[in-house]
A and B are shown apart, each in its own frame.
Chain A
Amino acid sequence: MKLTTYAQSLHDLNIIKENGLDEVLLGHKEFSRLGKLSDDEFIQLSARARELGLSPIFEWDILMTETEFPSLAQKIITLKEHFTEIRLQDPGALEFTLTKMDSKIQWITENGNHNLFGLKHWEDYIGPRLSRLVLSIEIPKLSLTEYIKELKTPVEILGLGRILLFYTPRSLLSPLVKNSDDPVTKTMLQSETFEALGESEESPHKGFPLVENRHGTFMFHIKEFCLLDYGAELASLGLSYFRIDLRPSSLTDNLPKVKALTTEFSTEGFDAFKDTYPQDLMRGFYLVNKTDVLFPKLKNSRLVRKDEGYVGEILDVAKSEYAVIQLKGKVKLKVGDNLKFIHPEGKEYIVPVVWMKATDLTEITEAQENQLILMNTMNGLWVRGQAYLA
């Protein structure tokens, strides 16, 4: 299992080289969500990376509207000699790269793509130029194990770094301070990237890192994602790349520690790392992903009609006088039938149909779909109760 990480300066490249990595991720400010490198800086870093024997990987992970796309597409052609592989996230960038360039492709599937079937189809579509699949951190260990085994392509996941929660192209921070007279605020507004922390009384989590730059606004989790303590396990599963994103903290301080922990893990070493690392850490859904278990509680399943024997729904009840049923199911209702009413809170009542009336109050003995009928009621029946033939 190899480590991969970002470089933002020549100094970073030296640290990366010293720690034995063989590639480096470069974020150009026009193409990469959090990239800060200008053209010149990118070209300089890429040249130096090559001198050091590091493979420069170009990150093109922004999402782009049709207005922005053509100029970026043109520009990437002029930069292509400066990188060995390209990592992409927008399907448009993928299609463009596949049809107009010949670079090897690292395909970021971190957004969704939580099934092997789909991932295999990405493999098939991109074909031999696919050099890596970057998988979502929401995929739990069990699935990851299977994916790594079944996919033909080397797999990368985030090993340490911020968890991106939210990405919008709109500028959300600058409007809050744009009219400020304060010189410090004004200077901040002029910088290409500025950061803040957000918290809400409606959320127990305090201090979400926020970043605004030319690509929009990003919100991150208050904790960083960390699987360093599962590094050996992931290596034994066959994971090819572990991404270590130390951009918000210090590469110099932390990359050697990460390298040491992934080479030979020790609990004491990991505890010491956590003590000095500037952010709290979490492993997200690595052990289990149960983000759908609450769904049944979001809806009252008793109100979902079961199709068999369905008669309709109570729309009105006048205590001990009558109930009004909207017949919605395919069955015919007759005087003498028994109805089972299922109520939203779960209570069930069996009621024999003793009498029925049409809405003009004439007596009827039979009714069918779409009819509104009045019938005898009993204590407990209430509006929204669902009626079935008993």
Chain B
Amino acid sequence: MSYFVPEVLAPAGSLDKLKVAILYGADAVYVGGQKFGLRTAAENFTLEELKEGVNFAHERNAKVYVVLNSFLHDKDLDELPDFVRYLEEIKIDAVIVSDLGVVKTVAEHTKLHIHISTQASVLNVESAKLWKKMGATRVIVGRELSVKESGIIKREAGLEVEMFIHGSMCMAYSGNCVISNFTQGRDSNRGGCAHSCRFEYSIDFGLKDKESIKAYFMSSKDLEGIRVLPEFIKEEIDSIKIEGRMKSNLYAGTMSKTYKEALDYYRDNGDFLSEKMLMWESELGKVSHRDYTEASLVDKAGDSSIYNERENSNDNEWKSIGHVVEASDKAGIIIEVRNAFNQGDELEIIPFKGEILKITANEIMSMMMNPITRTKPSTLVKLPYHRGAERFNLVRAKGSK
């Protein structure tokens, strides 16, 4: 017997990340073109890369959604029809949109599926019904909703529901923060957010004889919903979304693998074993993150969801060493080094499925087979071949200096 599980939707800020996320199990990825999305600083995809990404995904039964969720101004709309027609031609699976002008442009020029972005703050059944009438097939509900509330929306509005399950969080209702627009001249709703909510502020309550209080009072902890997966399944949420198009390959891969393994386990067994849950949680903890919160997935986000700290790294985080760019008997394992490691270090190669491959870097060679004792970032190095290692596998190490 096989049980219902949601789609795992991973972020892909570049073509490499798309490949990594899909190879590690993501059922779908969301990507941005060079325009119209919110992650202006991300590498994003050229037209050719989009096509290549779609082909790569479809060959592996995965889907690609293109993000068009900026609040576009009139002049931005001029180029949109050609772009969306191209997306339809290359068989993109859906577009993610937040502005009515964009929804209608997509609907007028294509038959693409339209997913309403979390930027539109869909928070209730009536709102979902409205967007359905406008042509949407799915809503990505606001992060202020619980899984239970989202289940009600799905049933009563009769359209697909996608929910964020993991990653950084906007403290504001999405689309309802213009701090960057008015203080830095950068439109946060067209990709220019300067993350002013992560600053430390002095708060003056105007109380006599009381000093102002220093706090990171408007910074949110990161969302982690692995323990809430049973609820997502119970409410038949269609898609669980991982935030982070700007984050590393290690992030895209670890998140995709962990959530996918957890859901595969449920699909086959109909439950989550608690020791497995501990293992998945530990995997999620190894990637760089702020402290985790379940935010509003179960109950309304309370005081404990505020990250009142300067950004820092966590002790149990592992370092990304890089990823495998080639692995074969003849050439060995070639790693693109992101963070340096030394001869003798213990490395972990993360396979697309199954157990981690633990190796000791006793023999490190340059591409011309010269021995190396300490690697450098932005170089390629060769290790002896180990069965199981494949191109795009991620490599990590604990405490590598």
A interface with B by C-beta (< 8 Å): 63-67, 69, 73, 90-96, 111-119, 121-122, 125, 138, 143, 163-173, 175-178, 182, 184-185, 188, 194-205, 208, 210, 217, 219, 221, 284-285, 289-295, 298-299, 303-307, 310, 315-316, 318, 321-322, 324, 326, 328-330, 358-361, 372, 374, 383-384
Contact = CB atoms under 8 A, between A and B. Distances in A.
A318 B175 CA distance: 47
Contacts of B47: 307
B30 to A, nearest CB: 18
Contacts of B380: 315-316, 324, 372
Interface in B102-129: 102-105, 119-129
B131 A195 contact: no
Interface stretch (B58-66, B200-208, B223-231, B266-274): B200-208
Interface in B219-242: 220
Given A165-B178, A199-B202, A326-B325, A304 B46 contact: yes
A119 B171 CA distance: 28
Contact of A63 (B76, B123, B146, B181): B123
Contacts of A310: 48
Contacts of B74: 114-117, 143
A167 B173 contact: yes
A286 to B, nearest CB: 13
Nearest to A199: B202
B344 interface: no
A202 B101 contact: no
B275 to A, nearest CB: 34
A99 to B, nearest CB: 8
B336 interface: yes
16 contacts: A63-B123, A65-B145, A95-B130, A112-B98, A113-B71, A117-B104, A138-B187, A164-B178, A165-B179, A167-B173, A167-B177, A197-B206, A219-B179, A304-B43, A306-B46, A307-B48
B282 interface: no
B203 A118 contact: no
B210 interface: yes
Contact of A173 (B190, B203, B330): B203
Given A64-B123, A182-B210, A316-B367, A169 B182 contact: no
Given A112-B98, A143-B74, A359-B331, A198 B185 contact: no
A295 B130 contact: no
Contacts of A358: 331
A66 B125 contact: yes
A381 B330 CA distance: 27
B187 A292 contact: yes
Given A95-B129, A360-B330, A198 B202 contact: yes
A328 to B, nearest CB: 8
B159 interface: no
Contacts of A289: 73
Contact of B199 (A178, A182, A203, A293): A203
B207 A295 contact: no
Contacts of A208: 201
B217 A176 contact: yes
Interface residues of B, number: 104
B34 interface: yes
Nearest to A171: B303
Nearest to A184: B207
Contacts of B120: 91
Contact of B181 (A167, A188, A291): A291
Given A168-B218, A289-B73, A118 B99 contact: yes
A305 B201 contact: no
Contacts of B203: 173, 176, 196-198, 210
Given A114-B73, A166-B172, A360-B331, A307 B46 contact: yes
A92 B378 CA distance: 50
Contact of B172 (A167, A173, A303): A167
A194 B202 contact: no
B206 A170 contact: no
B106 to A, nearest CB: 12
Contact of A113 (B41, B99, B128, B172): B99
B124 A64 contact: yes
Closest 10 interchain pairs by CB? Answer: A118-B101, A112-B71, A92-B127, A92-B126, A291-B187, A307-B48, A359-B331, A118-B100, A66-B149, A92-B124
A69 B175 CA distance: 20
Contacts of B183: 165, 203-205, 221
B295 to A, nearest CB: 9
Residue of B46, B127, B144, B303 with most chain A CB atoms under a 10 A cut-off: B127
B300 interface: yes
B49 A305 contact: yes
A170 B202 CA distance: 19
A73 B126 CA distance: 10
A318 B381 CA distance: 12
A167 B185 CA distance: 19
A292 B190 CA distance: 7
Contacts of A63: 121, 123, 142, 144, 173, 176
A290 B325 contact: no
Interface string B301-338: 11101100000000000000000011010110010100
